[in-house]
């Protein structure tokens, strides 16, 4: 695919730049660090809105709702085992080595624990808002991607990896 090199205007700083030929089709930002960050954020917004109408503000509002919710539920996102020294109320679940950070009944297999948040009606509703889809399979697929993404961000290697040492399945 050969096309003449054209200069493009950066969406962030509004300066003209020569796009990288390899990514010229998608590149909308120059290589300045701040603009690359903006580019990354923009691609995340595109990803969030890919099934919907791409409405960034809707997505941002949804993210804001999650942030507010998280402020009200600080324990929900932390592995329970790590809170034993803190001021949080620690119930007997913290002694259950199989228990991850989710508020699920005991005894669920790891794969289900993994998806406990995806079964939270509020979370399902949130994904539905962001994606614009009410199909459960769409929502499940998005939830899986979100979980993967979240794990990568948090540095989790395995779904079951918490404070307690779990033998990885081989
Ligand atoms: Zn720029």
Name the least confident of 9-13, 73-77, 78-82, 110-114: 110-114
Q: How far is the CA of 46 from the centre of ligand 1 (A)?
A: 19
Q: How far is the CA of 36 from the centre of ligand 1 (A)?
A: 7
pTM flag (> 0.85): no
Comparing CA positions, the residue from 21, 55, 25, 40 lying closest to residue 131 is 55
Mean pLDDT of all residues belonging to the chain: 70
Strand partners, 8: 17
pLDDT for the residue numbered 3: 56
Q: How far is the CA of 9 from the centre of ligand 1 (A)?
A: 8
pLDDT digits (tens, 9 = 90+) for 144-166: 888 788 878 888 765 544 455 55
pLDDT band at 6; cut points 50, 70, 90: confident
Domain positions in the chain are: 8-72, 112-154
Q: How far is the CA of 8 from the centre of ligand 1 (A)?
A: 10
pLDDT for the residue numbered 49: 66
Q: Can you tell me the mean pLDDT for 14-43? A: 85
Q: How far is the CA of 170 from the centre of ligand 1 (A)?
A: 46
Instruction: Please report the DSSP string for 57-116 in residue order.
Output: HHHHHHHHHHHHHHHH-GGGGS-GGGGTTSSS---GGGG-TT--SS---TT--HHHHHTT
Q: How far is the CA of 30 from the centre of ligand 1 (A)?
A: 4
Q: How far is the CA of 16 from the centre of ligand 1 (A)?
A: 8
pLDDT for the residue numbered 15: 92
Q: How far is the CA of 12 from the centre of ligand 1 (A)?
A: 5
Q: How far is the CA of 74 from the centre of ligand 1 (A)?
A: 37
Q: Can you tell me the mean pLDDT for 76-95? A: 53
Q: How far is the CA of 39 from the centre of ligand 1 (A)?
A: 9
């Amino acid at each position: 695919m050969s096309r003449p090199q054209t200069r493009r205007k950066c969406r962030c700083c509004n300066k003209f730049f020569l796009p990288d030929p390899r990514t010229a089709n998608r590149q909308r930002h120059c290589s300045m660090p701040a603009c690359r960050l903006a580019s990354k954020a923009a691609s995340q917004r595109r990803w969030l809105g890919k099934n919907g109408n791409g409405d960034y503000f809707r997505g941002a509002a949804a993210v804001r709702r999650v942030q507010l919710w998280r402020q009200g539920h600080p324990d929900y996102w932390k592995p329970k085992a790590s809170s034993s020294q803190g001021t949080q109320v620690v119930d007997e679940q913290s002694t259950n080595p199989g228990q991850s950070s989710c508020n699920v009944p005991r005894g669920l297999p790891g794969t289900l624990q993994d998806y406990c948040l995806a079964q939270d009606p509020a979370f399902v509703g949130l994904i539905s808002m962001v994606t614009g889809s009410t199909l459960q399979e769409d929502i499940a697929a998005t939830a899986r991607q979100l979980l993967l993404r979240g794990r990568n961000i948090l540095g989790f290697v395995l779904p079951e990896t918490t404070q307690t040492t779990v033998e990885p399945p081989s």
